[in-house]
Amino acid sequence: MALDAEAAPAAELALSDTDINWNRLDKTKFHIIGAILFTAQSALLHPTAVVKTRMQVDGSGLSHMRGVSVFWKILKSDGVSGLYRGFGTSAIGSLPGRVLALTSLEVSKDIMLKYTENLEMPEATRVGLANGVAGMISNLVSCIYYVPLDVVCQRLMVQGLPGTTYCNSPLDVVRKVMKAEGFRGLYRGFGLTAVTQSPASALWWGVYGAAQHIIWRSLGYRDSMEKKPSHMEMVTVQATAGMVAGACSSVITTPVDTVKTRLQVIDNYGIGRPSVLKTSRALLKEDGWVGFYRGFGPRFLNMSLYGTTMIVTYELISSKMPGLTIGDTIPNIQADSTHGKISLYDYLGDSWGIIFSHPGDFTPVCTTELGMMAAQAEEFSKRGVKLIGLSCDDVQSHTEWIKDIEAFNKGKKVTYPILADPKREIIKQLNMVDPDEKDPSGGAVPSRALHIIGPDKKVKLSFLYPASTGRNIDEVLRVLESLQKAAKHKVATPVNWKPGSKCVISPSVSNEQAKQMFPNGYETMELPSKKEYLRFTDV
């Protein structure tokens, strides 16, 4: 009877689910699969990075040639290896950097969405703003890691060009830079990167988020529609949004990237250690303002395809995910309720919690269920448990409905809060969406689901019932006590266990340990296998 909530059918998704929702991902799987796909993408695009870098740095012929011509020139003179200078360092060195960048990205985006949820602004603007700020913060956090990596990789890419120092390996680059300038040499261009790349990242993510929502709505999709986009449509729209973001970002950021690249790899212009000002003046002298757009084509290609691998990785994993389930950390929901504004973590504190959804207010089965929860509230309180109801109706509706609930169970007050989720965001976060039922407008409705949450904020058990079947509150109390006993003692509860009956001792506990842990003793059942694993005790 206890089932994990099921995911919505893979063939179609709610429009709001087309946004990247990092907190639902298995991060280990994401980073493992992402490492493979990112490395494959890097292998495909690395030659464009080499072409761009050499075009930006070379003050003679290459800077005035088309990107395709530079590609063939490098291939002819240096072979395939010339197009992959610095690839190993970049591919291996980027792995921990991506973990750092994506982790900071998801955290900061969640915070921004939370703090903008009550602002009066179009949804596309809100999502674009959250993506933009998250991109900026993520870039600042990862900058300290990536700048030295860029210095090493780009110096390997430009070997043999005028003004550069010859190095035969990544370690040789580090050694020569440290010898010449000390540790600060590895952070050439850090200030320029920190000041400019964060807005560039914010621009990319902001345009990406806004463009995606605009495209969906131009295609006629809405959250309230029966028709939902397929996975193929979703990936196509996301890729298109990425192209738009790359185009906007590369036009604005290429001049800064050109200066930064030259600053990081050219050791002198005959006038001492390079600086942003010296580098800009030298570039102006060589090519005029057009010189700041050296390597624009290859850079545009790189930035346009920047998010493709991440999106594909997300889709590969999320399409196989069951949603919030046992062992997952429940998100810190912020919502209006019949008890005012609630932060889930603050409300729960160090207590156990039960959050239960219902299809709708003023419905017969739901009224009896919430009435019984009210009647048993004292029993839950004795066990250190806090209750929370949830549906997509608003607070005013909940408040009026409570009168009916209390009338059903005369003398029993509804003392627990009921959360309002009119935008249907919480039920999606908690995997409480009914896969079959829809409201009259075609929108998602909550399933008859229930999560038991431990003091560590992890889901310990989930129930999912069809709309026609009310939950058994006595069963909820039974499994709750079972979970609490298992958490406190190294025991489990056998078939048809009831509070007060014997538990079984965990196989991980030896007989010697059991004698100390269970001073009242235990009984070992004799089995044909002669193995002493079925041990019963009172706790």
Please give the positions annotated as active site: 366
Q: What is the rounded distance in angstroms from the CA atom of residue 36 to the CA atom of residue 42?
A: 10
- The CA distance from 113 to 22, in Å, is 13
Question: What is the CB neighbour count within 10 angstroms for residue 526?
Answer: 8
For β-strands 459-465 and 491-492, DSSP reports them as: unpaired
- 8 Å CB contact between 416 and 378: no
List of residues 6+ apart from 71 with CB closer than 8 A: 47, 51, 83
Nearest to 231 by CA among 6, 10, 7, 9: 10
Tokens of 204: 């990319």
Contact 2, 452 (CB under 8 A): no
The upper half-sphere exposure of residue 172, i.e. CA atoms within 13 Å in the direction of its Cβ, equals 9
User: What is the DSSP-derived secondary structure letter of residue 288?
Assistant: G
Asked if residue 126 lies in contact with residue 209, where contact means CB atoms within 8 angstroms, the answer is no
Q: Phi and psi (nearest 5°) for 533?
A: -105, -15
Scanning 305-431, the segments in alpha helix (DSSP H) are: 308-318, 344-348, 364-375, 377-382, 395-408, 426-429
Alpha carbon distance 310, 312 (integer Å): 6
Determine how many CB atoms are found less than 10 A away from the CB of residue 243. Answer: 18
